[in-house]
Structures are given as C-alpha cells and as structure tokens.
Amino acid sequence: MRRLLLSGIALAVMTMASPVFAQAEKQGGSMIVTYKDDVATLDPAIGYDWQNWSMIKSLFDSLMDYEPGTSTLTTDLAESYTISDDGLTYTFKLRQGIKFHNGREMTAEDVKYSLDRVTDPATQSPGAGFFVSIEGFDAASDGSAKGLSGVTAVDPLTVEIKLTRPDATFLHVVALNFSSIVPKEVVDEFGADFGKHPVGTGAYSLAEWTLGQRLVFARNADYWKAGVPKMDEIVFEIGQEPTVALLRLQNGEVDVLGDGIPPAQFLEVKDNPDYADMIIEGGQLQTGYITLNVTIPPFDNLDVRKAINMAINKERIVRIINNRAVIANQPLPPTMPGYTEGYEGIPYDVEGAKALLAQAGLSEGFTTELYVYNVDPNPRIAQAIQQDLAAIGITVELLSLAQANVIEAGGAGTAPMIWSGGMAWIADFPDPSNFYGPILGCSGAADGGWNWSKYCNEDLDAMATAADSMIDPAKQADRYKAWSDVYMGVMADAPWVPVFNEQRFTMKSARLGGPDAIFVDPVHIPVNYDYVFDKNVQ
Amino acid sequence: MSIIVPELGEPSGPTRPIRAQSVFGRLLHRPMAVVGIIIIAVVVLAALFAPVLTPHDPNEQYFEGLTLEGAPLGPNGQFWFGTDLLGRDLLSRLIVGAQTSLIIGVVANGLAVIIGSLVGITAGYFRGIVGAVLMRFTDLMMSFPALLLAIVLAAIFRPSLWIVALVIAMVNWVQIARVLYTETRSLSEREFIEAERSLGAGSMLILWRHILPHLVSTIIVWATLGISTTVLLEATLSFLGIGVRPPTPSWGNIIFENQTYFATAPWLVFIPGAAILLLSLAFNVLGDALRDILDPTQQGRAA
Amino acid sequence: MIGYLARRLGQAALILLGISVVTFVLLYLLPADPVRQIAGRSATAETVENIRRQLGLDLPLWEQYWRYLSNLLSGNLGRSYLQKSEVSELIAARLPASLLLMVGAIACELTIGLTMGVVAAVRRGGWVDNLLMVFSFISVSAPQFVIAILLLYVFAVKLGWFPIGGYGTFAHLVLPSLTLGLLGAGWYARMMRSTMIEVLRQDYIRTAQSKGLRGRIVLFRHAIPNAILPIVAMIGIDIGMFMSGIVVVESVFGWPGIGQLAWQAIQRVDIPIIMGVTLVSACAIVIGNLVADLVAPLIDPRIKLR
C-alpha cells in the first residue's frame, strides 16, 4: 500500500494555472443569475443539463473536486485516499464533522448509499455508465443484486471501493455530480421528488423554488470550508431569453448571464468599451466535429474521409460564428491533457481533396446527407460545410432537425454525416479518456451509441484500455502520451472532421468579484458560484 | 362621429351576368386595385423568372459578403439589399424565395380557405347530424397536435414544399370553418332565407345566391390575412425539418433565421417582412375591389 | 338547453379521447427514442433496455395506450421522464400564468381590434380606413419575437414604464399580453370591419336611422351587437392560436407559463409532459368552442341550440 500525495496526482495542465484564492474576502451580498431553460431537477443522480450542472455542484459535494477555475483534482469530502498497488482498491478517508443541510452528520454509509443509488436501474441515472469499473456494477445494473458489492463502509469515516480493472480516471469519476453524496432519509422521504427537494452537504442549500420562475440558494452556515461560500444568497431567474437577460444586465438588474452573451448581440457588446471589464473569455473542453459514418459508402473509403477533411474551410466557419472559437485539428481540445502539440492536422487543400476523390474513383463526386441540430448557428455552419463540399463535387442535402431526431439518426447509424454542434461533446471530466469511449470507441459504435461515425478500431481500443490502466502517478506523462497516440491513430483513420473548439464568452455585473477563471470554470460549468464575491460588501 | 350608412341596393336581388372584360375594366378604374395588381404581378414574375432576375447566385456565400468579424453587410452598391449571416445576397434570395412563398401563401392558404368555407357553410346551413359531425371534427382538428404531426411526417416522407403545403392546408382550414359556421347559422335563420325556402328554392340555390354573398367579405379577410400567417408558418415547419431545406430560401425562413439579429442587422428582417406585408395587402385590396364589383347586393357603390 | 349541453359534453369527451389516441400514436411513430434521452450518452445497451422495461415502453402500442388511459381516467397524468415529477404538478404550477396571459391577450385583442374595426368600418374608404388596414396587416405579418423585443426595448428599457420581463404584478402583464394580442387584434379589426359594413347595410339600421335615432346610438345599440357574432367564434379559436405564440412570448418576457414546459418536452421527447400539455390545451379549445356556441344565441336570438 502506498500513500499518494495529492500533488502527485495533480494534473499538469499548462494552460490553466491555478489562481491563488485569497480567503480574505468578506462574506455577504447576493447575486442574480439568469438561465433560459427550466431547471428540470436538482437530483445529482439525474441532472445533466447546462443550467443545473453547476447548481448541483454548489448544493452537493463529492469525494473529490477540482481547484476552483482549473481542472486540477483535489480532495473534497474525502480528506485523503490511498490506492492499492494493483490499482484495484481505493480507500477514502472522510472528513470529520461534515453535515448535511438537514443537520445530520455525513458518514461512510451515505457514500455507499449514494453510489448504490446512482447505479440502481430504478434511479434511471444518465450517469450510471461512468461507474462501470466498480466491482458488482453489472449485477447492480441488471437488477440481480441490490447495491454495489465493491463499495463498503469500513468504518464511519472510511470507504473502500474495489474495481474490476485499473482505472486511471476513477478519481475523476468520484468527482462527478453523479457521485454526489446524498442523505438516504431525505431521498426516502421525497422519493422521485428528491430532485425538487435537494439536500446535500454543499456550500449552498436550496431555500426557495418557484417552479418555472426562480430558485433561491442560501449560504450553508455549516459549510466545512472556512470563508466559503462568499455570497449570502444566489437567486436564479429561469425562463429568461438571453437577449432580454443581456438588456437586464445592461440595466443593472442581473449579475451573471448563465447562457453567456447571445450570439446576435456578441459583436455589439464586445466592441463596446463600457463592457470591456465585464466580459470574460474562457476555453472550454469542447470540440465541434463532423462525423463521417464509416459503414456507409463511400465513407468506408479512407481517401474519401481524408478528402472531406481537406475540403472544409474551418477558418471561414469560425468567422461565421464571429470568431468565438479556435480552429481544431484533432479530437481533443488544446486545454485537455493528451492534446498533441505540434500536430498540423489535415490541411485545407481543395485541389488535394479533389485528387483524393479521383483516386477513390469518385471524380464525378456523389450525393450524401448531413444531419444538423436545427438551432442557430448550427444550420448556418452546416450550410458553410455544404458549400465547401460542393467545391469538390459532393452534393450535400441538409437535414435540419430537432436534437432528439439527430441523436436518433446518429445512434441508429443511418446518418452519413452529422455536424455535432449544439449536441457536441463537452467533457464530463478533464481527462482525455472522456473523449474516446462513447464517441470514438467500439462500445459507442453499437446501435444507439453516441459514436455516430460507427468507427471501431480494435487496436486503438486496446491502446486506450492500456492507457487507462496506467495508474501510477509517476507515469502520468506516459499516460497522456499514450492517449495522444490513440487520438493520432484516430486522425489517421479520419472518421471525424474536427472543426473548432468553442470559446466561452460570459458577462457579469461590475460589482461581482473573483478570479476570471471561476466565471468560465472548465468543470463547474458555467460558473463556480461558491467563490464569487460581492465587491460592495468588502 | 357620424355614421355613414351606405345606400342599399336590393338586399337579395337577382344576379346580373357580369362579363369578365367589364370586371377587369372596372378594376382599372380603382387606383388601389391597380397598385395591388401591379404588386402581385411583380411577385409572380419574380417567382417565374427568378434565375434570370437574380443579380447574384442566391446560394453563394460570398467571401466579401461578411466583415472579418463575420457580421453581415447592410445595403450597399454591390449587394443592394445587403447580405445575410452567411454572406449571401439578400435581394437574390428574396427573388427566389418568392416561389416558395407564393405556393404557400396562395396555393396552400387558398386550399385551406376553400376547405374551411365548404365545411363551415355546410355545417352552419344544414346543422343537425351533418352539422354536429362536421363541427366536432373541426374541434378535433383545432386541438390536433399539428407540430407533432409535422415532425412525424418529416421523418416518414422526404421533406418537401408540398408536404408543408399539405400540413398548412390541413391545419389552417379549421378557424375559418368555425367563423363561417357561426355566421351561416345566423344568416340561415333570417326572414329572407325563410321566405326563399317557402317559395320552394333549393338549398344549393339559397346557399349560392343568398348566403355566400354575405360571407364573401369574411372569406376575403381570412384569405388575405392568411397569406401572412401561412408564409410565417412555413418557416416554423421548415425549421422542424419538414419543408424546404437549406439553402433554399423562402420569405418566411429568411425572417425566421435572422430574427434574433434584427437589432444589429434590421434589413434581414424588415425587408422580407415588407415583402410579405405588401403581398398580403395587395391581395386584400384586389379582393375588396373584386367583391365590390361582383357583389349583387352592392351594385353601383364605389369603394 | 340541458340536453344540448349534455350532448356537447359527451362529444367533448370523445374528442379528447380521439386527441389522446392520435397524439399517443404520433409520439410512438416519432423517430426519437425517449429512453436514450433518459439513459444519457454513456449508457450501456442493457441499461437502456432496463429503463425501457421500467417505463413499459417495450410493450405493444395498444397496451401502452391502455395503461396510459386507465391512469388518465383515475386522474393520473404520470411522471415526467426527465424531471421525474408528477406531470399534473408541473402543469398546475404553470397553467395559471398561461391562462392569465391568454386573458390579457384577449382583452388587448378585443379593445384594440374592435375599436380599430368599428372606426375603419365607419370611415370606410377614407385614409383612416386605409391606415388601419395597413396596421392590421403589419400586426399579422410581424414575427412575434421582433414585436416582443421592440415593445420591451421601447416601453421597458427606454421609457421605464414597465418591468423588463418577469411575473407578479399587473405591470408585468401588460407587454406580454400586448405582444400576444397584437396578432389577434389585426384579425379582429379586419373581421369587425367587414361584419360592421355588412350590418350597416341591413334594413333595420336604415329603419333606425330613418326614425331619427342619433348615429352613436344606432352604432352602439344596434350595429355593434349585431356585428360581434363572428368575433365570439374567434375568441374560441384564439386559445388554439395562442399555443404557438405563447412559447416565444413567454420566453422573451420570462413568463412562467406552460409554453416553455411544452417546448422543452418536445425537444427532449418527454412523452408524459407532451401528452399532458396536449390534453390540457385540447380541453381549453373544446371548452372555448362550446362557450362560443352557447353565447351565440344570446347575441343573435335567431340562432337556436340544437
């Protein structure tokens, strides 16, 4: 048994230096945050939407978390942990005296209960699949066993989790919202309505919820981190069209635009010097890509896929969305560990694309279909792609549909091409493996899976599994190199056209303080509420 | 305020045969009607000869059609009506879009008006079982989840303009049916209708000669306002994927795609909006003029 | 009257049954899998099948419908697939706001529409008439998103007369009602104008005038009441028309109504919510039309209920 120091596991994320958090800010004040879409639930086992993701993070805690504004792992409810030499047993030592919002002290039994609950098929959690490496997952998810046999509460402050295979991403998994610790008695009391009556251990507790209108979070006075959170109260106003939310922010009525700056007003706001200090730009662990279905001719031909990669004018596409993105040349976004520096990608080369098509015997071109989610700017981007492909003789018919229909066509494998925008992959956790399995690996290529290219390369799958078995923190760099090799392998087969990585632009009122990074937090998406403070109470 | 009560002709006088030639001749004496005819003619000609008339390729995304930051250009010397969010020429897209919008606004909407009139008048005049069945069917269609139907149709058939036209005709007839039903119900109880009945006039004759003329103005209102609403409805349906596919333009989808940008690029919303407005107004003044000329109860009155 | 009402209510039940069948079948045919939406993107095939079984979505269509119907008859609309809450609770929380908005919109339509219609009819052929005609057509042709933002910008942001969206007081209600009502006001104005012109030509108006009654009295006592009949039918229709406009208006003004709930449910194939909202709005439409038919004889005594 080897005790690991936290600093050893910390991710080497070059581009996101951890900001220094002054603990000195006074607590107090409140802020108003707006969102367009309704909050469906605050149950951490269920919630998987843009607007409830970071709300849940403020109401609940997990064993692990990230340094605010970064993707650097740190302990949270766990005080420390050890990993066995074979990488199969994780032992978490819990912090003492952590209390749920209802006043009861949290114990190891709660951790076990929470993990059992999220993997129980009756919970219908969209995150259950993340726990696949825990021993007893199969039996729990097909209902033949109650609870995960691999999770045991050794004593009130110790939890032991046994895995069936080494999983280098496991600490990220127990940092997910889905791993949040919930109190059994409250879940039992409210049943399926727990999502409307959430009780956790987080920095804020739910004080008021008027369905479809507003939610009020109040500061958790018993929160274990000294001086956190900063605000006394957060008010979320729901159902606000982003254009109107912006008008209200300009009018001093709201403090944070949860959905960011609306595209239609982006240039106007960005070019206005009055707002220069209120706009915050940040990267996002996101890639927008075109999937090429390798099971549908002529996309089964590598030359054709490469030709399409060469034909797309990514620079123009980025210009169409007002330069709110950076050009991508590989599946991973640049801020993700494992990103291959110095890789040129497949260059934009219309003549080369035509030559490759001719080589594939398709000098006359062909007709195909591109599916796209019907919300702006995606149909526009799809039309730019359509024009680029027309230049090399490919006639593209656009099918602009509701999100669920595009996902269905992608899963069933009937869509030759899909533009991923609007449904695109935003990382669940900042690790390169998260961009592989479901969207490029063989498991995701099954019927209904999210690997819309239906691309399955057994060799790369083996390399990926090997990379995720490298749990030795001293070999972290090797692991990232292994992942880099996997994605270079993907690029060699070209099942995707990586197009761009979106930049996030958000806007906050001048009175809100805190490091810029927490307003575009890569994990607490979109905002890490716990560390935002009110300049007026300082 | 004083009331101008129009002079009345015979309330149910016999219809005099009117020659087409003389109708057209009399239309030309009404300046408003002439303007209406000209607008309609311009739109129809634009739709028919679009390939010749467009100054630019309507689907070409011009590099110089966008600023370096990706903003569309306002009206200028090269692009008279400005460019859209992809750098395409708005004027050319408007000309080509006239085709779609005419089919929807005139053909599909016209079909809806005809169906609605037949159902509403029949149900209002005959009442009884026929009326009840027709009107309950109308109620059913009114609460029908039309958008859902549209999405399912889009998945089953290939998206096309004709499916949109069909859905619009299916959905839009119900309102006019209800209104005409109520009006007919009232009209058919009037004394002069009773008098005709007692004289042994057939139902068809009464409907055609004595009921329909009183409903014409309502029908014109619905038919002409319907042009605007159906053209916009087409955009919604195309958004759901059942109608014309991008990059094919229609007046409705130009507005729909760009409406969130109307504050920064007003030309993208107000120019196609004005086109829809003018077309429906043109049909309205023409309809009113025709009604005045043809209506037997209004002989001799000028608008 | 009682017999008529009983018959109509019976027919209404049949209509709702018909709507429920049609909607259920359409949702079944929809090329989108609700289970995929629930299970998330990392779900295994077994998890997906498991959830499908739990929700009974693996059963044959008729059996699924039978289950739904028997729950419905015992007053149970089911639970949302994604929110997990009772659909009846979700709808009940939002319905009052939407109904209030509809009432406000109908008030705007009647005030603006009828005034414009009567004035246009009385001034027929003059420049006032033409101006009102253009205005009616603009209100019908303009996209509601644009009207909403323009009204908001002018009256809330610039003039500060009304709040910038929100819910709670009368001041909050004005702009959304106006936005939603303007479209209908255009229709009402045109309809009112045309029926007024029709009525003004009738014998009894001439008789009334020849008896020396003053213009205004003739107008308000005789002409308008007789012209208003088709308008009553239109109020019934409006409820159906509002359902499409309400999504845009509610989201621009942050109005906590049913439109957003329905829209998000359609996007994510949350079948119990879609069914619930469809049935509730069908109820409203059927009742609206029934009321319109019941009111018609009160306005025009010649009409008999049968």
The model's pLDDT over A212-229, given as tens digits with 9 standing for 90+, comes to 889 999 999 999 998 889
Residue B288 lies in a domain: yes
C68 and C155 in a single domain? The answer is no
More confident residue, A378 or C36: A378
Lowest mean pLDDT among A188-202, B145-159, B203-217: B145-159
C178 and C235 in a single domain? The answer is yes
Residue B75 lies in a domain: no
Residue B6 lies in a domain: no
Query: Given this model, what pLDDT does residue B26 score?
Result: 83
- Whether C303 sits inside 8 A of B185 (CB atoms) is yes
C194 and C257 in a single domain? The answer is yes
Question: Which residues of chain C does B113 touch, with a Cβ-Cβ cutoff of 8 Å?
Answer: none
Number of domains forming the structure of chain C: 2
Q: Which of B56, B59, B60, B85 is the best substitution to test chain A (most A C-beta atoms within 10 A)?
A: B85
Measure C117 CA to nearest chain B CA, in Å. 12
Is 60 exceeded by the pLDDT of residue A396? yes
Q: Which of B56, B59, B60, B61 is the best substitution to test chain A (most A C-beta atoms within 10 A)?
A: B61
Is 50 exceeded by the pLDDT of residue A4? no
Name the closest residue on chain B to residue C275, using Cα atoms: B145
Find the CB nearest A386 among B69, B241, B247.
B247
Is 50 exceeded by the pLDDT of residue A20? no
Contact predicate A196/A42, CB 8 Å: yes
> Which CATH number covers residue B151?
1.10.3720.10
Tell me the pLDDT of chain C averaged across its residues.
87
C238 and C102 in a single domain? The answer is yes
Is 50 exceeded by the pLDDT of residue C17? yes
Is 50 exceeded by the pLDDT of residue B3? no
Query: Given this model, what pLDDT does residue B131 score?
Result: 87
Mean pLDDT calculated for residue range B158-187: 87
The boundaries of the domain holding residue C18 are: 2-79
CB < 8 Å from C in window 95-154 of A: 121-122, 124-130, 132, 141-143
Query: Given this model, what pLDDT does residue A296 score?
Result: 94
Measure A373 CA to nearest chain C CA, in Å. 11
Query: Given this model, what pLDDT does residue B142 score?
Result: 85
- Side chain identity, residue A23: Q
Question: What stretch of H or E contains A94?
Answer: strand A89-94
Find the CB nearest C40 among A48, A195, A213.
A48
The tokens describing A297, both together, are 């001719």
- Side chain identity, residue C296: A
The CATH class of the A286-502 domain is alpha beta
- Tell which residue, A317, A289, A321, has the closest CA to residue A305: A289
Is 90 exceeded by the pLDDT of residue B239? no
Question: How confident is the model over C211-230, as pLDDT tens digits?
Answer: 766 677 777 777 788 788 88
Name the closest residue on chain A to residue B154, using Cα atoms: A401
Residue C218 lies in a domain: yes
Mean pLDDT calculated for residue range A91-109: 95
Question: How confident is the model over A488-513, as pLDDT tens digits?
Answer: 999 999 999 999 999 989 999 999 99
C212 and C240 in a single domain? The answer is yes
Mean pLDDT calculated for residue range A313-334: 94
- Whether C229 sits inside 8 A of B182 (CB atoms) is yes
The tokens describing A135, both together, are 């021993």
CA distances (Å), origin A409, targets A295, B76, B254, C42: 14, 42, 27, 17
Relative to beta strand A30-35, strand A256-257 is parallel
> Which CATH number covers residue C179?
1.10.3720.10
- Whether A380 sits inside 8 A of B155 (CB atoms) is no
> pLDDT-derived band of residue B2, with 50, 70 and 90 as boundaries?
very low
Q: Where does a domain end: C79, C114, C141?
A: C79
Measure A421 CA to nearest chain B CA, in Å. 16
Query: Given this model, what pLDDT does residue A8 score?
Result: 33
Find the CB nearest B86 among A267, A320, A401.
A320
Is 60 exceeded by the pLDDT of residue C80? yes
Residue C292 lies in a domain: no
- Tell which residue, C73, C95, C97, C93, has the closest CA to residue C83: C93
Ramachandran category for residue A81: left, alpha or beta (phi over 0 → left; psi -120 to 50 → alpha) = beta
Name the closest residue on chain C to residue A436, using Cα atoms: C42
Q: How many CA atoms lie within 13 A of A150 on its CB side?
A: 21
Residue B170 lies in a domain: yes
Measure B268 CA to nearest chain A CA, in Å. 12
Distance CA A22, CA A19 (A): 9
Residue B19 lies in a domain: no
Residue C282 lies in a domain: no
Distance CA B108, CA B115 (A): 11
Is 80 exceeded by the pLDDT of residue A13? no
- Whether B139 sits inside 8 A of C289 (CB atoms) is yes
Residue B206 lies in a domain: yes
Strand partners, A505: A281
Distance CA B59, CA A433 (A): 41
Percent of chain A with pLDDT over 70: 95
Residue C185 lies in a domain: yes
Is 90 exceeded by the pLDDT of residue C83? no
- Of B139-148, B187-196, C125-134, the range with the highest mean pLDDT is C125-134
Percent of chain C with pLDDT over 90: 33
Query: Given this model, what pLDDT does residue B275 score?
Result: 92
Tell me the pLDDT of chain A averaged across its residues.
90
Mean pLDDT calculated for residue range A332-350: 93
The tokens describing A527, both together, are 């905002």
* Chain B interface, Cβ < 8 Å to A: 59-61, 63, 66, 68-71, 85-86, 151, 154-155, 159, 239-241, 245-247, 257, 260-261, 263-264
Helix/strand/coil (H, E, C) string of A257-318?
A: ECCCCCHHHHHHHHCCHHHCCCEEEECCCEEEEEEECCCCCCCCCHHHHHHHHHHCCHHHHH
Distance CA A228, CA A219 (A): 9
Question: How confident is the model over C112-170, as pLDDT tens digits?
Answer: 999 999 999 888 888 999 899 899 989 888 888 888 989 998 999 889 899 988 888 89
Find the CB nearest C122 among B4, B147, B263.
B4
Contact predicate B153/B167, CB 8 Å: yes
- Whether C83 sits inside 8 A of A41 (CB atoms) is yes
Q: How many CA atoms lie within 13 A of B236 on its CB side?
A: 19
C117 and C221 in a single domain? The answer is yes
C50 and C197 in a single domain? The answer is no
Q: Which of C58, C81, C84 is the best substitution to test chain A (most A C-beta atoms within 10 A)?
A: C84
Residue C180 lies in a domain: yes
More confident residue, A343 or C236: A343
Mean pLDDT calculated for residue range B194-209: 83
> pLDDT-derived band of residue A15, with 50, 70 and 90 as boundaries?
very low
Query: Given this model, what pLDDT does residue A444 score?
Result: 87
Query: Given this model, what pLDDT does residue C131 score?
Result: 92
Lowest mean pLDDT among A116-125, B152-161, B246-255, C82-91: B152-161
Question: What stretch of H or E contains A418?
Answer: strand A417-419
| Residue C272, preceding peptide bond in cis (omega within 30° of 0) | no
Q: What is the ipTM of this complex?
A: 0.87
Query: Given this model, what pLDDT does residue B9 score?
Result: 36
Annotated domain spans of chain A: 286-502
Mean pLDDT calculated for residue range B274-278: 91
C134 and C59 in a single domain? The answer is no
More confident residue, B12 or C149: C149
Measure C173 CA to nearest chain B CA, in Å. 23
Strand partners, A373: A401
Is 80 exceeded by the pLDDT of residue A3? no
Percent of chain A with pLDDT over 90: 72
More confident residue, B117 or B23: B117
The boundaries of the domain holding residue B207 are: 28-58+89-298
Question: Which residues of chain A does B70 touch, with a Cβ-Cβ cutoff of 8 Å?
Answer: 267, 319-323
Q: Where does a domain end: C45, C79, C113?
A: C79
Residue C211 lies in a domain: yes
Helix/strand/coil (H, E, C) string of A207-261?
A: EEEECCCEEEEEECCCCCCCCCCCCCEEEEEECCCHHHHHHHHHCCCCCEECCCC
Helices (H), A120-157: 137-141
Is 80 exceeded by the pLDDT of residue A57? yes
Query: Given this model, what pLDDT does residue A19 score?
Result: 44
C126 and C247 in a single domain? The answer is yes
Query: Given this model, what pLDDT does residue A12 score?
Result: 34
Find the CB nearest C206 among B8, B189, B232.
B8
- Side chain identity, residue B151: I
Query: Given this model, what pLDDT does residue B301 score?
Result: 40
Instruction: Answer whether A363 touches B (CB < 8 Å).
Output: no
> pLDDT-derived band of residue B299, with 50, 70 and 90 as boundaries?
very low
- Whether B245 sits inside 8 A of A374 (CB atoms) is no
Question: Which residues of chain A does C165 touch, with a Cβ-Cβ cutoff of 8 Å?
Answer: 240, 244, 248
Percent of chain B with pLDDT over 70: 90
- Whether A319 sits inside 8 A of B69 (CB atoms) is yes
> pLDDT-derived band of residue A480, with 50, 70 and 90 as boundaries?
very high
C222 and C126 in a single domain? The answer is yes
Sheet holding A151-155, edge to edge: A2-3, A78-83, A89-94, A158-162, A151-155
The tokens describing A82, both together, are 């050890």
Contacts across the A-B interface (CB distance below 8 Å): 74
Q: Supply the pTM of this predicted model.
A: 0.89
Residue C126 CA, chain-centre distance (Å), reads: 34
Strand partners, B83: B89
